[in-house]
Amino acid sequence: MADRLTARFGEPPRLQDLVRAALAEDVGSCDVTTEATVSGERRGIARVVARATGVVAGLEAFAETYRQVDPDLVLELSLRDGAAVGDGDLVARSTGRYASLLLAERTALNFLQRLSGIATLAARFVAAVQGTDARIVDTRKTTPGWRALEKAAVRSGGGLNHRMGLYDAYLIKENHVSGAGGLEAALAAASRHDTRGLPIEIEVRSLAEVDAVLASSHRPDRVLCDNFDLTELARAVRRIKSVDEAPLVEASGNVSLATARAIAETGVDWISVGALTHSAPALDLSCLIDLE
């Protein structure tokens, strides 16, 4: 089935293709304003500066934008992905044709601001659970086409990646259980289907479902406790670990910076946060261009 789907949908987009599409979307046939106002021979210096505290990510996409716009541009990166920045810190410097610097500016910043925002939010969640054994993980709630970039940004912020897609781990959710004819049937079917040793995870919504998973002869690698209150979650962790230390316990649902630590203190191994990729605000960065 995987081969058929690859033939149907193709391979995931490469970074070069994403940048090319972004530039085509922005530039179109030409930059009419720059063509009208800036001599093609004029040279400039562009500096990207942080205007807020955060964590940088997306520098590879940022640099690829400059490469595609004009291979003669000289780009100097002051930082690496995962580096902390403060207001006023220099992130990058580029020299070359003034028109090329203008052409690259918005697309390059779009990549850098969006991905740095994700890394910054991930770092804040990681800091919120520091001192516990819980790790912050992302979800599949990503911008279409940007998943690899956004999940890399989560790693830059200190978070972990959950499955990359539907192909690299089993996650049995409510609708799968219903379609399979029950929790035990779903676990058995996934165990039979797994010929590659992929992780098998099942979502549970109550302590009764936790008990059903523990009673199964096809015990999963991970148990996802979805929308449990703190008391129930702590009970679920104790119940699972008292029977079997092996399954990783994950918590999800209504996770925020205000609630993350309390969730971590229940003893869960993972806390999945969809907001890392679907709601992270862009990091405030500006690009200043001067004549060389």
Tell me whether residue 151 is one of the annotated catalytic residues: no
pTM over 0.85: yes
User: What token pair was written down for 58?
Assistant: 């997306």
Which pairs with CB-CB distance under 8 Å and at least 24 residues apart come from 71-75? 72/96, 72/97, 72/100, 73/97, 73/100, 73/101, 73/104
Name the pLDDT band for 6 (thresholds 50, 70, 90).
low
- From 67, 93, 106, 205, the catalytic residue: 106
Tell me whether residue 106 is one of the annotated catalytic residues: yes
Pairing outcome for strands 222-226 and 200-204: parallel
Tell me whether residue 203 is one of the annotated catalytic residues: yes
Q: CA-CA distances (angstroms) from residue 252 to 195, 208, 260?
A: 28, 18, 10
For residues 38 and 289, what is the distance between their CA atoms, to the nearest angstrom?
13
Closest listed residue to residue 162, CA positions, set 197, 138, 198: 138
Alpha carbon of residue 166 to chain centroid: 15
User: Which helix (H) or strand (E) segment is 225 a member of?
Assistant: strand 222-226
Tell me whether residue 241 is one of the annotated catalytic residues: no
Q: Identify the bridge partners of residue 43 per DSSP, sorted by sequence position.
A: 97
For residues 132 and 264, what is the distance between their CA atoms, to the nearest angstrom?
6
Q: What 3-state class would DSSP assign to 168?
A: coil
> What was the pLDDT predicted at 40?
87
87-118 pLDDT, tens digit each:
999 999 999 999 999 999 999 999 999 999 99
User: What token pair was written down for 182?
Assistant: 């029950």
For residues 40 and 71, what is the distance between their CA atoms, to the nearest angstrom?
15
Give yes or no for residue 129 having a pLDDT over 60: yes
* 172 φ, ψ (degrees, to nearest 5): -85, 115
Cβ neighbors of 30 (< 8 A, separation 6 or more) are none
37-76 pLDDT, tens digit each:
999 899 999 999 999 999 999 999 999 999 999 999 999 9
- From 26, 194, 211, 226, the catalytic residue: 226
259-287 pLDDT, tens digit each:
999 999 999 999 999 999 999 999 999 99
User: What token pair was written down for 24?
Assistant: 């085509």
User: In sequence order, what DSSP letters do the residues of 231-279 get, joined into one string?
Assistant: HHHHHHHHHHHHH-S-SEEEEESS--TTTHHHHHTTT-SEEE-THHHHS
Q: Identify the bridge partners of residue 187 per DSSP, sorted by sequence position.
A: none
The domains located in the chain, with CATH, are: 2-120+281-291 (3.90.1170.20), 127-278 (3.20.20.70)
- Lookup result for tokens 């029950």: 182
Tell me whether residue 173 is one of the annotated catalytic residues: yes
- From 43, 67, 93, 141, the catalytic residue: 141
